[in-house]
Amino acid sequence: MRRWKPVIATTAGLALAAGLLTTTAPAATADDAGAEAYTWKNAQIGGGGFVPGFVFNRSEPDLLYARTDIGGAYRWNEPAQEWVPLLDSIGWDDWGYTGVASIASDPVDPDRVYAAVGTYTNDWDPKNGAVLRSSDRGDTWQHTELPFKLGGNMPGRGMGERLVVDPNDNDVLYLGAPSGEGLWRSTDAGVTWSEVTSFPNPGDYVLNPDDPSGYESDIIGVVWVTFDPATGSPGSPTQTLYAGVADLAESVYRSTDGGATWAPVPGQPTGYLPHKGVLDEQTGDLYIATADNPGPYAGTDGEVWRLDTATGQWTDVSPVPAGGDRVFGFSGLTVDRQNPGTVMVTGYSSWWPDTQIFRSTDSGDSWTAAWSWGNYPERTKRYTMDVSSVPWLTFGENPQPPEETPKLGWMTEGMEIDPFDPDRLLYGTGATVYGTTQLTRWDRNQTFTIRPFVKGIEETAVLDLISPPSGAPLLSGLGDIGGFRHTDLTQVPSMMFRQPSFGTTTSLDYAELAPNIVVRVGNHVGEGTDPLIGFSTDNGAHWWAGSSPGGATGGTVAAAADGSRFVWSPENTGVHYAVGFGNSWSASQGIPQGARVEADRVDPSRFYGFHAGTFYVSTDGGATFTASAAQGLPATGEVRFAAVPGRTGDIWLAGGGLWRSTDGGASFTRIGSLDADNIGFGAPAPGASYQALYSSGVVNGVRGIYRSTDTGATWTRINDDQHQWAWTGDAITGDPRVYGRVYLSTNGRGVIYGDTA
């Protein structure tokens, strides 16, 4: 559930000095001279991940930003009706910066935008968090590293916003920190930061203090800051601010002297966590949406409160009263800036039968709901769903009423009404961005249409890729949503892999000599029951389930060159092989559990494995493996290898370096100057007979995506510093039919493909 984490060894600094996030590419070396220009695009999927927050600029129409938990930040392009990715320049060592904990658009100078970045507060992310700042709407960035971590993919990531710009003095910013680090302030437009030492409560709530990983045992912290702009004047800091803290006893604080001193707001509600705090500036009402869990998944109760900031009176305006059908918490809080007193909130943690959205036009005194119960199990809905642009959002399911597909959503923590257009509403779910441009029909009891507004946001974690020599050019293995068969890279596929259905595909392979035969394995997300291996004989268009040896899950899988047998190395049991389509599995001998397996691309009887520095070879279809005598292969770290199509026993192994075997793994030779993360093959260059090689790696100290057309003797960098996509280590493959085309994996930016310009 959105917890993908690459394992990269880096060193985190503690300085608060400002510096460039990206720089001009280093001068070309002998190896990377003559790099071709490449165009880079996403294979279209149409979302796929959690979008926890949106920020509209308050002074310029149609200027809108979105943040994701692992996939970076985006700016809306109104004419094109699509999102523009803003953090593709983030490099390998800074991969954690693709988790965006908060984003802020400057209401005084719309060209300025800020992002608080960092993916995990535990040791999964070795670096501290940072605040990125841009003066060109996110096209380029500078950054200041913080002396603590931020958690764009941690519990509570849908709360906020933690990062805000003072609407009167835009050199002043505030940042609510996790991990007990309190409240921080910048007075020089985000260049330097210091702790607001007078802030009295950094929060004490943790989701699960017994979690040994640190993922659920960190303090959620200060989660939002809200200004009252009427208490300042242009050029002078706003005097009255409110802050929300993850604390069940005292969660709402106020300063009336520009942040110099703070005190809890008298009479405030207790017992819940304040997910959102939004001020209706015209009415003077501060709304608080709360839950008993930081989210974004869980929550069984919560309340919505209104504070009359003039009188200090608190009023419980919860859309569902206590003791009723309230089995969820509240979030997704927003107000209509054109119509004072209009407020909306979500029941973000309502999973069954659907999420819920509430709307009030009288400051919360009364509410209407997006749907209500009819004659059970029927539901009466104010909306219709149109997912024709992203048809897989039905998930291919046919649920029993009252559940429906597509759902209105889940994990609906980010929701905003356009401050310039009361008819436009956007909200995020765990899989997409939904919205409408007909919102005020709600108030006239007219049906309005909700549809995806997700074009350009490709937020999937890519675990494996294959490009067969015939049929579809690309099949992908993805986290959370399984994977897709792309017959057209520019079109959103109609459906993810189904029958069997499992949320995460960890590995897939095709038979080189019979490419219509495809196999995939993976893990369930949630409570799935389908077998965790699937087979296809029509190039992945249709699938059926195989059997699993001993409850096997995940791992890697390999198909014999002719598709006659398969070898599966699950993550939780030993290596197994099957003759035919997995109806019966037998344990392979001579190879350890956890080995990575691949197939020879010519000889159906040959399979290969690798584990902890030792290469293994099978010549009897995976029944038995023998350890190779090859020496000098990497014993630790991430190691991936692949066999070359059309050449028996030609194997390339990547893992901090690059090695090649031409004798079926009996011996390996270190190749060239590339410190490779992975290896893939594509159509040969014009006039060449050997496949083009592709790899994510480092040549002469320069990290990039590299191509070789001379069997690895020299390598040309084909990406640039504006196209780095952070983590690209899992999978890479060329296209066997199109010279120069390469497909590469990312950890949150979907499937990237490049073509020579």
The first and second tokens of residue 445, run together, are 């009891």
The first and second tokens of residue 643, run together, are 């066999």
SS3 category, 587:
strand
SS3 category, 92:
helix
The first and second tokens of residue 91, run together, are 């490099």
Q: How far apart are the first and last CA of the chain?
A: 37
What contacts 693, CB < 8 A, 6 or more positions away?
Answer: 652, 679, 680, 681, 682, 707, 708, 709, 711, 712, 734
The first and second tokens of residue 392, run together, are 């897989």
What contacts 528, CB < 8 A, 6 or more positions away?
Answer: 501, 502, 503
Spell out where 469-561 has E strands. 474-478, 485-486, 504-511, 514-523, 533-536, 544-545, 556-559
Helix (H) or strand (E) holding 680: strand 680-682
The first and second tokens of residue 72, run together, are 């970076």
Q: Is 570 left (phi over 0), alpha (psi -120 to 50) or beta?
A: beta
Contact by Cβ (8 Å): 606, 649: yes
Q: Which of 118, 180, 175, 185 minimizes the C-alpha distance to 152?
A: 118
Q: Is 21 left (phi over 0), alpha (psi -120 to 50) or beta?
A: alpha
Preceding omega of 500 cis (within 30 degrees of 0) = yes
Cite the active site residues: 69, 480
What contacts 207, CB < 8 A, 6 or more positions away?
Answer: 155, 156, 216, 217, 220, 293, 294
The first and second tokens of residue 633, run together, are 């292969």
Task: Give the span between the Cα atoms of 518 and 538, in whole angstroms.
Answer: 8
The first and second tokens of residue 118, run together, are 């960092």
The first and second tokens of residue 553, run together, are 């899950």
Task: Give the span between the Cα atoms of 257 and 255, in whole angstroms.
Answer: 6
Strands, sheet with 576-579, edge to edge from the N-terminal-most edge strand? 556-559, 565-569, 576-579, 586-587
Contact by Cβ (8 Å): 406, 385: yes
Neighbouring CB atoms inside 10 A of 443's CB total: 13
Q: Which of 61, 63, 165 minimizes the C-alpha distance to 108?
A: 165
Amino acid found at 95 = W
Q: Give DSSP secondary structure letters for 686-699.
A: TT--SPEEEEEEEE
Radius of gyration for the alpha carbons in the chain, expressed in angstroms and rounded? 27
